[in-house]
Amino acid sequence: MGQQVWPGDINNNGIVNNIDVLYWAVANGATGDKRTDTTSNWEAKDLPANLWDQDFPNGLNYAYADCDGDGDVDDDDKTVIENNFGQVHGEVVPDEYTPGDPATDPTMGLASDNPVVAPAGTLMVDLSLGSEDKAITDFYGIAFTVIYDPDAVGNKGNDFRLDVLADTWMSGQGDEKVIQFFQNDRDLGIAQFALVRKNGVPVSGFGDIGTFNIVIEEIFTGKSVLTASDIQMADVNLGTSPVVPSDLEFSVDSTLTATIVPIVRTGLKVYPNPVSGREITIDLENPEEGIRLVELYDVNGRLLRRLRLDGQTSRQQLPISTYPRGVYTFKVLTNKRIYVQSFVK
């Protein structure tokens, strides 16, 4: 009997999880012989008689990343990881995680401008990676786990989600876009993520990469903790670098009431529209209102950028030259309401 693969377990350690997504990202675009069995149901499959030309650094052949056996590594193979997530076979070899040293290594940071929320309210938690003095070099992907109290979080579809910013040092437009993998065990309060590039080009930098939007359970009160752990950050050769884990304590106060902020489409000027230069200006007609948050979305509703302000200004310029032609929408949160305004570039 030749070598065998269990579809989705790319690193062949006995379990399908978010670490396999790092391997998938590195092998993305590779081609080779098909398997004789091109199904992806959970059972051992014989690898092709002629293995592929490339191997992972640990010696495994790239054919392990061809989860559906069709002869190339593409988005369909990531779907197999999602479908077979959590499946095990044989003896599971635990993945290795090396916690970083806060004195020398970058941190995966969790931060909230308002860590006190009402029952049924939404907790917004910014996710960042690295800092100016501990920047990330040659980033290609990161897998991590977020642990939370399932009694504190709502159990509907979007009650726990990560919105990845599209215009950051990590992610951009087109093939520069970071791909998100997300599997959430609501009963245990364990969410596994992977954020990967797939164009073969690593990047370097630091700062915000996304925001968690967490809807609090209606009957929960008291304190709770959100923890980022089991972090594995890799370069394009699957070389790993240590990252410091972190946590965030938040409170749910029953004396508060979850409020609905009105959304309006008048009272905000966006100019020039259409955009004719490198910048666009957002300007509140009421100067007594202060801008607290600006979000930019593309025509498909994808969050491109988030800018937090101190609420002391009613006018803000933003660079726009890096975005392709199209229709975009600003969502502007002030001290009193939310404005929504579209523009053309």
**The pLDDT of residue 292:** 86
pLDDT tens string 72-125: 999 999 999 999 999 999 999 999 998 899 999 999 999 998 899 999 999 999
DSSP for 235-259, please give it.
-TT--EE-BB-EEEEEEE-TTS---
Q: CA quadruple 251, 254, 256, 261: dihedral positive or negative?
A: positive
Instruction: Name the pLDDT band for 165 (thresholds 50, 70, 90).
Output: confident
Q: pLDDT at residue 260 above 70?
A: no
DSSP state of 79: H
DSSP code at position 94:
P
* Mean pLDDT across 1-22: 94
Average pLDDT, the chain: 91
pLDDT, residue 261, reads 59
- Does 148 score more than 70 pLDDT? yes
Domains of the chain: 1-95 (1.10.1330.10), 108-252 (2.60.40.680), 263-344 (2.60.40.10)
pLDDT given for residue 1 in this prediction = 54
Which residues, in sequence order, are CB contacts of 21 under 8 Å at separation 6+? 78, 81, 141, 143, 181, 194, 196
Closest CA to 18 of 103, 104, 105, 144: 144
Q: How confident is the model at residue 257 (pLDDT cuts 50, 70, 90)?
A: low
